Chains A and B, each alone.
Chain A
Amino acid sequence: MKAFRGRMAPALASLLLPAGMVCVTSAYAETSLFAPANYTAWIDLRLSQTNGERGWLDGGFGKLRHGNEMAADIAQAAILWKPQLTDTFSGYVLLQGVSDAEVPVGVEEAYLQWKPVPKSAFRYGLRLGQMFPPVSMEHDGTGWTTPRSLTPSAINSWIGEEVLVRGLEVNAQQTFAGHRLGLTLGGFTRDDTAGTLLSWRGWALHDMASAENTRLKLPEGEDQGWYRIFDDNQAPVSKPMVELDGRLGYYARLDWRPPAPVAVNLEIYDNQGDPMALRNGQWGWATRFYNLGLAWRLTTKDEWLSQYMTGQTATGWPLGQGHRVVDTGFESAYLLVSHRCDNGARLTGRVDYFAVKDHSRRAVDDNSETGYSATLAWMKPVNEYLDLGAEALHVVSDRPARQTQGLEAKQNQTQFQIALKWHL
């Protein structure tokens, strides 16, 4: 009997121990806040050479991250923390440092996400917090970065600078006869100044994404439309993350993935801003846009991405005929083709078109513009710790407001960039 008991104990132990280990492992798997897998960090070092006019970051009308300079920057140093609260409930916080930004350190996206494990083709989830609405088709890299090029399109550069919201987003997808349909609905606060830069500076192409405390510089000088209309009521910097009117904005997106190598999405965004709201030099802008996105898998190694955006934005008092003192329509489109080489590198070409139409007070505040750009980028992941990138970008644009800074309305600019991205 004793011998029997003696044999049973290890037998029991050997049965219970793995069970206990399974419990421990699954408990660990469920909640993991500060494990190494919850962190990602990188530093993107950038060398650039740009000719032409002064950049918008320096108060000019330049369309790129730099203008008329050679520069070395920390394009982005980031720590991405993704705590796992349960198996299906997680957090996301990106803290970034950008050496050439007006406010260098800030929290970009920060949200809670719930994603139940699908039990059928139907799936759903939600996000709550500070985030970019799902407009960009280019920002599918880790931490809302662009894996195909260094500089995103004009459309998605603008999303990155002026369309950061704080809200609740729900999404659901289902398959019907081989067609995958998705619906995303978002309600948000903040983002009441969206449209400020797009009107007074115009479209731009750069990869600086906004954070909660970001300030974006407007073109300098007392001859600027914004100063001639609003005087000291408008600050010389725009803050994209302010709430001015207490109104809720919304966005809605439809996704369609037919049984073919294409995916289509259509989105409407409206911040329902009050154009008469004014606080601390920040005006409310009533901004609405529509975005159409198309992805097409040409071959297993080649893809085509396109977006078209059209919208309008207005601020200030009404002038009659449905227009306000600052009132613009904007549109942009790009065609991008990306090829994945056998060595893992990506070669991408993109052509952008962008335009702003000004509907009011053009004599004192002409915000109209048209422009085109061509981008060629080569991105190469060298190993687990290092990515290399090189890019050439040429932009041509016509913006009469440049004359307020003594420049020709028509300008062109070429920028070369080399990126070394270290993953820590």
Chain B
Amino acid sequence: MKYVFPVLAVLLFASAAAATAADLAVTVNNASGRPVAFAVVTWTPAGGAAIPAAEKGRAFVMAQKNVQFSPYVLAVPAGATVAFPNMDRVNHHVYSFSPAQPFQFPLYGKGKSRTMKFDHPGSVALGCNIHDSMSAYIRVVDTPYYATTGADGRVTLSVPEGAGSLAVWHPNQETPERQTAKNMTVGKANAVQTFSIKVRQVAPTAGQY
């Protein structure tokens, strides 16, 4: 006997107004002109933008290796699931008390992993209850157009032409919400957008044991 379950299929038509994509290059420097790594750059179209399921379904990883989180900053779209594999010989106890998503993964050891879905846009500061010097951030964004700067402080986003908001978030930026944003319109060809942000050096962890 064959069991047939009703399946509701919803067909989504691509919007007739689907804009053509354009490259938007962004450079993030600090006050003294040096490139800033771990800055999350987002483009939010004026009318908003839905995050495709494929983007949410990508594999996002916040590893624990050499008693540090890796990477220091991980940007994910709202609705994404992040894996937290422990690659150290020692146990870790990952937690966050950030309002965007308070959670904890009680002690787990080498080769084990935990996962967490991040639904709410905002920033999630991570800690390890065993190792006070471990620190990292997950930035949950509400747009499919985002990237994190590397050591060269640069990213290039592929975004739809039109008006919107370009924002740079960094965990140690000296602004409210740790973010700097500007409104602009993206055309076919765009000049490199340069942000000069004030990034605070974090306190040293030497002597914590």
Chain A residues with CB under 8 Å of chain B are 3, 25-26, 29-30, 32, 35-37, 40, 84, 87-88, 115, 117-121, 134, 136-141, 144, 180, 257-263, 265, 293, 295-297, 303, 305, 384
Contact = CB atoms under 8 A, between A and B. Distances in A.
Contacts of A29: 91, 106-108
Contact of B204 (A3, A30, A117, A262): A262
Given A35-B109, A134-B209, A141-B209, 7 more contacts: A32-B107, A120-B97, A138-B207, A259-B200, A261-B200, A262-B204, A297-B203
25 contacts: A29-B106, A29-B108, A30-B107, A32-B109, A36-B89, A37-B89, A37-B91, A37-B109, A84-B107, A87-B106, A115-B129, A115-B130, A117-B129, A118-B95, A134-B209, A136-B207, A138-B207, A139-B209, A258-B203, A261-B200, A261-B202, A261-B204, A263-B203, A263-B204, A265-B207
A406 B27 CA distance: 70
Contacts of B15: none
A140 B205 CA distance: 9
B206 A261 contact: no
B57 interface: no
A303 B204 contact: yes
Contacts of A138: 207
B97 A118 contact: yes
A35 B107 CA distance: 12
Interface string B76-120: 000000000000011101010100001010111110000000000
Contacts of A30: 106-107
Nearest to B86: A37
Chain B, interface residues (CB within 8 Å), range:
20 to 34
Given A117-B95, A118-B97, A118-B127, A87 B107 contact: yes
Contact of A260 (B93, B104, B200): B200
Contacts of B130: 115
A119 B209 CA distance: 21
Contacts of B109: 32, 35-37
A207 B204 CA distance: 24
Interface in B188-209: 200-209
A144 B106 CA distance: 25
B95 A37 contact: no
B157 to A, nearest CB: 26
Contacts of A88: 129
A296 B201 CA distance: 10
Interface string B34-60: 000000000000000000000000000
Contacts of A136: 207
Nearest to B125: A121
Interface of B: 1, 89-91, 93, 95, 97, 102, 104, 106-110, 127, 129-130, 133, 200-209
Contacts of A260: 200-201, 203
Minimum-distance CB pairs A-B, first 6: A137-B207, A261-B201, A257-B203, A295-B204, A37-B109, A297-B204
Nearest to B99: A120
Contacts of A26: 106
Given A261-B201, A295-B206, A296-B204, A37 B110 contact: yes
Nearest to B208: A140
B209 A140 contact: yes
B206 A263 contact: yes
Contacts of B202: 261, 297
Nearest to A147: B206
A87 B95 CA distance: 12
A118 B95 CA distance: 8
B167 to A, nearest CB: 22
Contact of B93 (A117, A263, A297): A117
A88 B200 CA distance: 32
Given A30-B106, A84-B91, A117-B95, A262 B206 contact: no
Contacts of B90: 37, 40
A318 to B, nearest CB: 38
B203 A305 contact: no
B170 to A, nearest CB: 14
A234 B136 CA distance: 54
Contacts of B97: 118-121
**Max chain A CB contacts within 10 Å: which of B1, B95, B97, B107?**
B107
A297 B102 contact: no
Contacts of A35: 109
A37 B90 CA distance: 5
A260 B97 CA distance: 23
Contacts of B209: 134, 139-141, 144
A265 B209 CA distance: 14
Nearest to A122: B97
A304 to B, nearest CB: 9
B50 to A, nearest CB: 31
A75 B150 CA distance: 42
Contact of B207 (A120, A180, A259, A263): A263
Contacts of B93: 87, 117
B73 to A, nearest CB: 14
Contacts of A117: 93, 95, 104, 129
Contacts of A40: 89-90
Contacts of B95: 117-118
Nearest to A26: B106
A303 B207 contact: no
B85 to A, nearest CB: 14
Contacts of B127: 118
B112 to A, nearest CB: 8
Contacts of B102: 119
